[in-house]
């Protein structure tokens, strides 16, 4: 027999960790493109558990400098259109204004789809943080084009908000009105004198209603009425005409105004909340529904039940995954951080652990035999009943939050049990430190290699919930990284499962976005 030590069966080498993460544990540096994609789809430019907003901003700027301008443009488009993010795509787009005007102009109309995004881009450009203190000729021209092409309804909606307000933007770029109606509209927005008879019909009706708040409400955004003294009939009308998202966010306001004292209105609002067509049109994040549902203590029971149903509808696209599926859910202390970061007076009450638990519960709902393994420094015991809703399961998992972090814990347990695994999904912030070594590879990577020896066809998906420059696993042909907390995560998971692990990673998806030729 030949020398066994010399001719031992081939084993893939564990990649050597080349850095440490924010928690001090061994980690792998992400490819700059993958890191930028993660920041774009999870970063909200607020403080996280390990980094404040300035550190996050510095990381994004450094990553933008390391990749091609065209990739920055494509990432901004991806983060806006698929990740449904707001601040981060605006920042990525703004970095291009001085660096690559062509890429900026190509990405602008696909990132700036509404007035909120327009004001975000203008705010960032004028701040001086991305290399300039004024808009410049091309950005000014593109802003003017947006204003000229926007409908009356879009202008009216865009006029809600400040810092800068739409009035500030109009004063900066001086759009040229094409007719008397547009001239009156701009004057109305910026508070200059105007001829009321020249206003669009919508604003004429609104101005008349302000003088005599009686009769039918003009179809203006909800915010235009909140300072008025309205009767309950008008508040009921608002509940019928506002968008689904505004309705979700205004439930407590409507309750205070007596709308839900009418049982018929309770049923009407509940029917809207559970309407699958409206839910799909709203592009609601599943975690937003979780937040709304957890804040319904003072609302009628039918409203709470409707939000439960809406959550089930919003997460119904979770795929049925083939084979033996295991979901590792990070419930460590760092996962207590708000999923959209912290800022004074504006932090979300929904934590990373809440989102991780919700994702796991959704996968469990679509795959009844899936094994869910919550972990901190070790795997925690949990039994999820198949007849429980996703919210109940998610709340039970999230209640375990606390302790250190060993992302390798679920893999180590699977290896001790010699369990067979076809697909392992890890939902985490990747800040592992209790399983670290002084040198070599990460323990998570070591345990994955052991599992692969036993289950050569196994695949692993890492769902990363926080913007970090490092990871515990190197992306390989059988290791896919996904970042974010929108329902786009479910679609990427579905594609990966449908293509037997050969689906393109998100960097490839971003690279494939076509930029229009000007």
Sequence spans of domains, the chain: 19-23+318-511, 85-209
Buried b (16+ CB within 10 A) or exposed e, 240-277: eebebebbbebbeebbebebbeeeebbeebbebbbbee
Tell me the C-alpha distance between 359 and 363, whole Å: 6
Burial class (CB in 10 A: 0-12, 13-18, 19+), 160: middle
| Count of all residues that appear for the chain in the document | 518
pLDDT by 10s per residue, the chain, length 518: 555 444 444 456 788 888 888 888 888 999 999 999 988 888 877 777 766 788 889 999 999 999 999 999 999 999 999 888 889 999 999 999 999 999 999 999 999 999 999 999 999 999 999 987 888 899 999 999 999 999 999 999 999 999 899 999 999 999 999 999 999 999 999 999 999 999 999 999 999 999 999 889 999 999 999 888 899 999 999 999 999 999 999 999 999 999 999 999 999 999 999 999 999 888 787 878 887 877 777 899 999 999 989 988 888 767 778 889 999 999 999 999 888 877 665 556 788 999 899 889 888 888 888 999 999 999 999 888 767 788 888 989 999 999 999 999 999 999 999 999 999 999 999 889 999 877 788 999 999 999 999 999 999 999 888 888 899 998 888 888 888 777 677 777 777 766 655 555 678 889 999 997 65
What whole-number distance in Å separates Cα of residue 149 and Cα of residue 109? Answer: 11
Give which of 380, 359, 356, 360 is closest to 370, Cα–Cα. Answer: 360
351 SS3 class: strand
**What 3-state DSSP class applies to 507?**
helix
How many Å apart are CA 393 and CA 384, to the nearest integer? 6
User: CA 333 to CA 423: how far, in whole Å?
Assistant: 26
3-state secondary structure 131-149: CCCCCCHHHHHHHHHHHHH
Superfamily classification of domain 19-23+318-511: von Willebrand factor, type A domain (3.40.50.410)
User: Helix 352-366 to helix 488-498 angle, to the nearest 10 degrees?
Assistant: 40
In the DSSP assignment, the letter for residue 4 is: T
pLDDT in tens, 240-252: 999 999 999 999 9
Closest CA to 472 of 497, 507, 496, 437: 437
CA quadruple 257, 259, 261, 266: dihedral positive or negative? negative
CA-CA distances (angstroms) from residue 168 to 165, 171, 200?
5, 5, 21
pLDDT of residue 496: 74
């Amino acid at each position: 027999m030949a020398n066994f030590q010399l001719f031992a069966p081939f084993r893939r080498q564990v990649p050597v960790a080349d850095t440490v993460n924010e928690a001090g544990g061994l980690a792998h540096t992400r490819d700059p493109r993958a890191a930028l994609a993660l920041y774009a789809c999870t970063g909200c430019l607020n403080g996280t558990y390990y980094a404040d907003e300035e550190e996050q901003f510095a990381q994004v700027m450094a990553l933008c400098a390391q990749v091609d301008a065209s990739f920055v443009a494509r990432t901004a488009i991806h983060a806006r259109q698929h990740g449904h993010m707001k601040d981060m795509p605006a920042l990525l787009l703004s970095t291009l204004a001085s660096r690559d005007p062509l890429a900026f102009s190509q990405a602008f109309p696909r990132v700036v789809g509404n007035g909120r995004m327009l004001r975000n881009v203008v705010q960032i450009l004028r701040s001086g943080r991305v290399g300039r203190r004024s808009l410049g000729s091309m950005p000014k021209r593109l802003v003017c084009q947006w204003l000229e092409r926007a409908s009356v309804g879009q202008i009216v909606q865009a006029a809600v908000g400040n810092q800068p307000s739409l009035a500030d933007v109009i004063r900066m770029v001086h759009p040229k009105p094409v007719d008397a109606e547009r001239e009156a509209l701009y004057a109305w927005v910026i508070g200059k004198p105007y001829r009321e008879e020249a206003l669009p019909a919508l604003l004429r009706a609104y101005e008349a209603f302000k003088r005599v708040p009686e009769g039918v409400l003009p179809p203006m955004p909800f915010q235009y009425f909140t300072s008025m003294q309205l009767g309950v009939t008008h508040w009921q009308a608002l509940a019928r005409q506002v968008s689904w998202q505004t309705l979700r966010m205004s439930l407590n306001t409507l309750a205070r105004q007596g709308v839900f004292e009418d049982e018929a209105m309770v049923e009407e609002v509940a029917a809207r909340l559970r309407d699958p067509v409206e839910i799909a049109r709203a592009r609601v994040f599943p975690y937003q529904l979780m937040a709304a549902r957890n804040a319904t203590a003072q609302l009628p029971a039918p409203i709470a039940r409707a939000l439960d149903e809406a959550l089930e509808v919003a997460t119904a696209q979770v795929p049925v995954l083939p084979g033996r599926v295991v979901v590792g859910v990070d419930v460590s202390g760092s996962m207590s951080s708000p999923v959209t970061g912290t800022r004074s007076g504006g932090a979300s009450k929904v934590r990373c652990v809440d989102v991780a638990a919700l994702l796991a519960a959704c996968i469990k709902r679509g795959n009844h035999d899936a094994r869910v393994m919550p972990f901190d420094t070790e795997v925690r015991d949990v039994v999820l009943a198949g007849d429980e809703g996703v919210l109940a399961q998610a709340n039970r998992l999230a209640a375990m939050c606390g302790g250190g972090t060993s992302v390798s814990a679920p893999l180590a347990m699977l290896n001790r049990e010699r369990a067979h695994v076809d697909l392992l999904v890890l939902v985490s912030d990747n800040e592992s430190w209790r399983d670290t070594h002084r040198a070599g590879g990460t323990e998570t990577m070591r345990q994955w290699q052991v599992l692969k020896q036993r289950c050569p066809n196994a695949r692993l998906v890492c769902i990363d919930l926080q913007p970090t420059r490092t990871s515990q696993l190197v992306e390989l042909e059988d290791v896919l990284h996904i970042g974010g907390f929108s329902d786009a995560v479910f679609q990427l998971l579905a594609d990966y499962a449908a293509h037997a692990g050969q689906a393109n990673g998100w960097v490839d998806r971003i690279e494939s976005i076509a930029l229009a030729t000007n």
